[in-house]
């Protein structure tokens, strides 16, 4: 196994997951509007799941002999996400931002899954599992878009 090639697939995913967990908590604290209560709970569930998946990815990096880098400065430099709005954010806006981010990670993971198939099946399986969970969350948040529109 080329652990450096595997690391080039897993490290960006780690950054995306850490940032997604932070965004989910930011949104959880500041969501407002008609769908406040269900989104407040749903965002906490997302944050919990994403934190667990980021831990799994970081531990996989360590398992293959690479140091996981989840430092703030690395996150700020490497995140693919645009800034999340500050202050209180209307529920419709929160949902749109979360769906956008989930779409980005899922699409990136689909490419990672393909590349990891030739590199490391264990890491590929991990990314497949993370993607399945992210897709479930994306489906649930996207259902809110039709409800809040």
Measured at the CA of 107, the angle between CA 73 and CA 44, to 5 degrees, comes to 60
Over its C-alpha atoms, the chain yields an Rg (Å, rounded) of: 16
Distances from the Cα of 146 to the Cα of 28, 72, 96, 136, angstroms: 20, 35, 11, 16
140: its two tokens: 């649930």
pLDDT in tens, 98-108: 999 999 999 99
CB 23 within 8 A of CB 98: yes
CA distance 79 to 110: 18
pLDDT in tens, 61-107: 999 999 999 999 999 999 999 999 999 999 999 999 999 999 999 99
Average pLDDT, integer, range 11-35: 97
pTM (global) more than 0.75: yes
pLDDT of residue 91: 95
């Amino acid at each position: 196994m080329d652990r450096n090639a595997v690391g080039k697939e897993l490290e960006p995913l780690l950054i995306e997951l850490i940032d997604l967990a932070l965004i989910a908590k930011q949104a959880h604290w500041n969501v407002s509007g008609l769908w406040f209560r269900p989104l407040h709970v749903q965002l906490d569930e997302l944050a919990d799941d994403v934190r667990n998946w980021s831990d799994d990815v970081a531990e996989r990096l360590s398992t293959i002999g690479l140091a996981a880098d989840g430092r703030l400065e690395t996150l700020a430099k490497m995140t693919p996400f645009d800034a999340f709005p500050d202050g209180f954010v209307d529920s419709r806006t929160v949902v749109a931002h979360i769906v956008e981010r989930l779409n980005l990670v899922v699409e990136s993971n689909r490419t990672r899954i393909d590349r990891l198939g030739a590199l490391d099946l264990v890491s590929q399986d991990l990314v497949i599992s993370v993607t399945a969970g992210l897709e479930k969350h994306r489906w649930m948040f996207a259902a809110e878009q039709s409800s809040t529109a």
